[in-house]
Amino acid sequence: MHYVAVKVLKRLIIMSEGMQSESKIYVAGHRGLVGSAIMRRLKAGGYLNIITRTHAELDLIDQIAVTDFLAQENPDYVFLAAAKVGGILANNTYPADFIYQNLMIQSNIIHAAFLSKIKKLLFLGSSCIYPKFAPQPMNEDHLLTGILEPTNEPYAIAKIAGIKMCSSYNRQYGTNFISVMPTNLYGPGDNYDLQNSHVMPAMIRKMHEAKIRGDTKVCVWGSGSPRREFLYNEDMADACVFLMENRDANEIGEFVNIGVGEDLTIRELAEKVSRVVGYHGELVFDTSKPDGTPQKLLDVKRLNKLGWRSKTILDEGIKLAYQDFIKGQCV
């Protein structure tokens, strides 16, 4: 039998083994919005052999350090949730950082995971990989069918490269690297910094602070007309663990969307957040600021067929996110 074919066959045999409670699991980016939720979900599911490293302990941009780390620890499974992330302002301000750091982080971990012969890896991308004017809702076949949204193109290109890297390793080496594309995420552990955060946590903080100060107006970026979909990060973590436990790369395909399948306008979101926060002033929309992509709604039929659906409704999720923000303010 051809050497490459033998290697692929061995990998496929490994793929048939499911994730067990004693399996050694590495969560890259365990302090982030998704990574911290994955940690909670794994522990709740009885997975106790989890390894992590802070940035001070392991610089994921350092190829040699990452390769040595995975070779020494030799985990069975890897959740690749580490990334440089941010909203429109951050993406526009630091495009070089976004493309370089994300390419390096994911490339180092994916290649080192291959070298270490791990059983399975899950790579987290982003719905911004889709063309700016992709048909709605966006399904997996829409990838690379049009131009990207300019405000986050460097980040999107890095994430597309990650998808293609995983699928290429699967095709050439028979690895079991799966890629998932989440919609906009929010929830416990989010970044509420006004300069670098996404729309939901930014709104929560701005409206809370406006309420405390007694401001009569709050400014929201853009026209308020773009439509966005939001997924609670605990649901996202549940989907990731479900796929790692139950589905392999040959079942998923190149990648799978993870979302709720419903969206709303930014104006409607702002109104929901203001009600939860208890801010009763006027919402002013600054049309001089960029709107970004007109609509970003994921088609989640493939995910539903694989056996998973989201559980947390948006109104309840916003309440939980606000409680998390308040908790952070009191620390």
Is 159 annotated among the ligand-binding residues?
A: yes
Catalytic residue among 155, 169, 192, 322: 155
> Which candidate, 328, 226, 322, places its Cα nearest to that of 279?
322
Catalytic annotation present for 155 = yes
Is 308 annotated among the ligand-binding residues?
A: no
Is 30 annotated among the ligand-binding residues?
A: yes
Is 55 annotated among the ligand-binding residues?
A: no
Strand spans (E) along the chain: 25-28, 50-51, 77-80, 120-124, 177-182, 184-186, 217-221, 227-228, 230-232, 256-258, 264-265, 282-286, 295-296
Is 182 annotated among the ligand-binding residues?
A: yes
Is 291 annotated among the ligand-binding residues?
A: yes
Is 125 annotated among the ligand-binding residues?
A: yes
* Amino acid identity for residue 234 in this structure: E
Q: Is 52 exposed, middle or buried (0-12, 13-18, 19+ CB in 10 A)?
A: middle
Is 290 annotated among the ligand-binding residues?
A: no
Is 84 annotated among the ligand-binding residues?
A: no
Per-residue CA distances from 32 to 39, 124, 143, 323 (Å): 10, 12, 26, 18
Is 184 annotated among the ligand-binding residues?
A: yes
Is 127 annotated among the ligand-binding residues?
A: yes
**Are the CB atoms for 71 and 109 separated by under 8 Å?**
no
Give the phi and the psi of residue 144 in degrees, each rounded to 5. Answer: 60, 30
Is 29 annotated among the ligand-binding residues?
A: yes
Is 264 annotated among the ligand-binding residues?
A: no
**Rounded CA separation 253/251 (Å):** 6
**Rounded CA separation 246/92 (Å):** 38
Is 93 annotated among the ligand-binding residues?
A: no
Is 52 annotated among the ligand-binding residues?
A: no
Calculate the CA 13 to chain-centre distance: 29
Is 213 annotated among the ligand-binding residues?
A: no
Q: Is 265 exposed, middle or buried (0-12, 13-18, 19+ CB in 10 A)?
A: middle
What are the beta bridge partners of residue 189? none
* Token pair for 249: 């790369």
**Rounded CA separation 90/94 (Å):** 6
**Are the CB atoms for 224 and 267 separated by under 8 Å?**
yes
**Rounded CA separation 240/33 (Å):** 13
> Which candidate, 156, 169, 147, 150, places its Cα nearest to that of 11?
169
List residues with catalytic annotation. Answer: 155
Residue list for the binding site: 29-35, 124-127, 159, 182-185, 198, 206, 221, 228, 291
Residue list for the binding site for NADP(+): 29-35, 124-127, 159, 182-185, 198
Residue list for the binding site for substrate: 206, 221, 228, 291
